[in-house]
Amino acid sequence: RQPHVVIFSTSRLLTSRSNRSSYLFTWPRRKAAGSRACRRFPATYPSLPSTSPPPRLRCLPSYAFFRLIDFRTLISSYGKITWIDWISLMSIACCLPVVECVYCLACARWAWQRCLHSGGYDSETWGLASASEFEPVPRMCRLILSVYEDDLENPQWAPPGGYGMEPRWVVHRRTYEDTHGHAPTYLIYVDHHHSDVVLAVRGMNMAKESDYAVLLDNKLGQKRFDGGYVHNGLLKAAEWVFDAECDVMRDLLERNPGYTLTFAGHSLGSGVVAMLTLVAVHNRERLGGIDRKMIRCFAMAPARCMSLNLAVRYADVINAVVLQDDFLPRTDIPLEDIFKSLFWCLIDTCIPESAMLRDPRRLYAPGRLYHIVERKPFRCGRYPPVVRTAVPVDGRFEHVILSCNAISDHAIIWIEREGQRALDMMLENERTTEAPEIQRMGDEITIARDHDEEQQAALRRAVALGVADVNVPSTYGTFDEDINPEADEASPLLSDSGRRRAIWDEWISRIFEKDESGQMVPRK
């Protein structure tokens, strides 16, 4: 039989037992007797006669290195160590097979956790939303859907029950030809039933190169705004829309005093309206001096468009709605980053969460989050939807969900349908109690106060975690909106003493609360 030789390599074992097609390393063929190209084993080697031709070598899996190999006999008989032999010896000395096993186990553990992770786990510690605060969401979804219609008098894709709007109250509708590719299609609508002036922006049009240009116009840390970082392309689109429509919106607000100004968008449009809200808050004098609390935003399936400090600070005016496993709030905006997040997200798994939170350039979903959960892991079908809400700092949709519904949950049609189902269930539960009108108004005031306290707690936690450029105001809604730009560029992280004070304040707020008279009492 042909002699058998085994040599260990970095990740393989070399042996001669194979067919010719799988040979990887080959000994030089014999040219002539005594030639240098001919490498014979001496006659002293016990298992290789001098007349035997040198064997050909192939690869085996690395776990076979446990077989005993007499390297001393091989080296002494061979007389010269090649680079393959050095790699073989060093791989054993450095325990590379052990490192390979640990790496494979880590990859298997990560894949197992990703497969078991459900979208409902992201919000399992959040509180439940009320009907009064969630009521505008399905209505805004229908307004966004109406932007896709060319003729609202004869709609073609109306949801069940219609859009619930009067076509004569539409001020105007701007198409891609009107915006010249600077922004997606949008319309302005005056809702006299709800005392609201609405600017609704459609989602991304896959057939328009201008929408791709808006998405790709960004580089990490490229655009700074109000002490944080924002998506450059979305901010430019929002500034274009604001410059084009600020006079129209100011006239509508002056003719309809007491009306709120609402921005609504989906997907790409959600990022545009989130940036538009920031611009409107900082330019309220151009809108007739409207109060900050009269401006609000509803971002459906939001894009990650602003840094964490801005997402928490503007949670009083920006509301983001996410349906179960939606992929976009969990991935970065540029298409190359989406590809990276889907296939190279193991890199983010190895980065500590504290390091990600302290990165001021990392973008997040904006504002207060509403998570619609209507599926359970390892179960088929849809369950009655539950809406959870919070202003989270850590755990803000950081993991991509490996789900077959990750793309379908991004559709505005499903968000409107499940949002309406959730709202109907909330209203049905409230009808069973049948609260009086005065008590209902008191509940709305309580919800607003709870939201204020929740945002204050989120700001304190952001300071405690070392999030850059976060300040805790003394009163909710009294943010310093005239911050010096030079101070913004040089604003450092808080000192250790300030961070310890913020941690202490957060600990006190968990134990005590203020009653109606303003006294500190233990939480029940």
> What spatial distance separates the first Cα and last Cα of the chain, rounded to whole Å?
84
pLDDT tens figures, 295-306: 999 999 999 999
Residue 21 confidence (pLDDT) = 39
Residue 231 confidence (pLDDT) = 93
Residue among 52, 38, 42 at smallest CA distance from 2: 52
pLDDT tens figures, 37-49: 444 444 444 444 4
Bridge partners of 266, per DSSP, are 300
Considering the segment(s) 125-334+362-431 as one domain, its CATH architecture is 3-Layer(aba) Sandwich (3.40)
Flag whether pLDDT at 101 surpasses 70. Answer: yes
Query: Measured between alpha carbons, how far is 261 from 416 in angstroms, rounded to an integer?
Result: 21
Residue among 145, 154, 152 at smallest CA distance from 166: 152
Query: Measured between alpha carbons, how far is 353 from 215 in angstroms, rounded to an integer?
Result: 26
Contact criterion met (CB below 8 Å) for 8 and 61: no
Give the amino acid at 206: M
pLDDT tens figures, 325-370: 999 998 864 544 554 554 545 555 556 666 676 677 889 999 999 9
Query: Measured between alpha carbons, how far is 244 from 484 in angstroms, rounded to an integer?
Result: 27
pLDDT (average), residues 415-438? 82
Span of 119-133, 254-268, 285-299, 307-321 with lowest mean pLDDT? 119-133
Question: Measuring CA to CA, how many Å separate 342 from each of 219, 268, 305, 401, 507?
Answer: 19, 19, 18, 9, 37
Query: Measured between alpha carbons, how far is 48 from 15 in angstroms, rounded to an integer?
Result: 14
pLDDT (average), residues 291-296? 96
The 10 Å Cβ neighbour count of residue 479 is 17
Residue pointed to by tokens 């410059």: 243
Give the amino acid at 457: A
pLDDT (average), residues 103-131? 80
**How far is residue 340 CA from its own chain's centroid?**
12
3-state secondary structure of 100: helix
pLDDT tens figures, 137-149: 999 999 999 999 9
Domain ranges of the chain: 7-111, 125-334+362-431
- Summary mean pLDDT of the chain: 76
Flag whether pLDDT at 122 surpasses 70. Answer: yes
Contact criterion met (CB below 8 Å) for 223 and 159: no
Q: Which two tokens stand for residue 214?
A: 């808006």
Residue 492 confidence (pLDDT) = 36
pLDDT tens figures, 160-182: 889 999 999 999 999 999 999 99
Sign of CA dihedral 238, 240, 246, 252: negative
pLDDT tens figures, 486-505: 334 333 334 445 555 656 66
- Which is more confident, 252 or 104? 252
Q: What is the DSSP string of 228-264?
A: EEE-HHHHHHHHHHHHHHHHHHHHHHHHSTT-EEEEE
Confidence tier at 22 by pLDDT (50, 70, 90) = very low
pLDDT tens figures, 249-288: 999 999 999 999 999 999 999 999 999 999 999 999 999 9
Residue 219 confidence (pLDDT) = 78
Q: What is the DSSP string of 371-410?
A: EEE---TT--S----EEEEE--SSSSS-S----TTTTGGG
Residue among 310, 361, 373, 305 at smallest CA distance from 333: 305
Q: Above pLDDT 90, what percent of the chain? A: 42
pLDDT (average), residues 201-211? 93
Bridge partners of 208, per DSSP, are none
List of long-range contacts for 162-170, beta carbons under 8 Å, 24+ apart: 164/139, 165/189, 165/191
Residue 331 confidence (pLDDT) = 82
Residue 191 confidence (pLDDT) = 97
Q: Is 116 exposed, middle or buried (0-12, 13-18, 19+ CB in 10 A)?
A: exposed
- Which is more confident, 5 or 446? 446
Residue 442 confidence (pLDDT) = 59
Residue 273 contacts by C-beta under 8 Å, 6 or more apart in sequence? Answer: 199, 201, 238, 263, 264, 265, 297, 298, 299
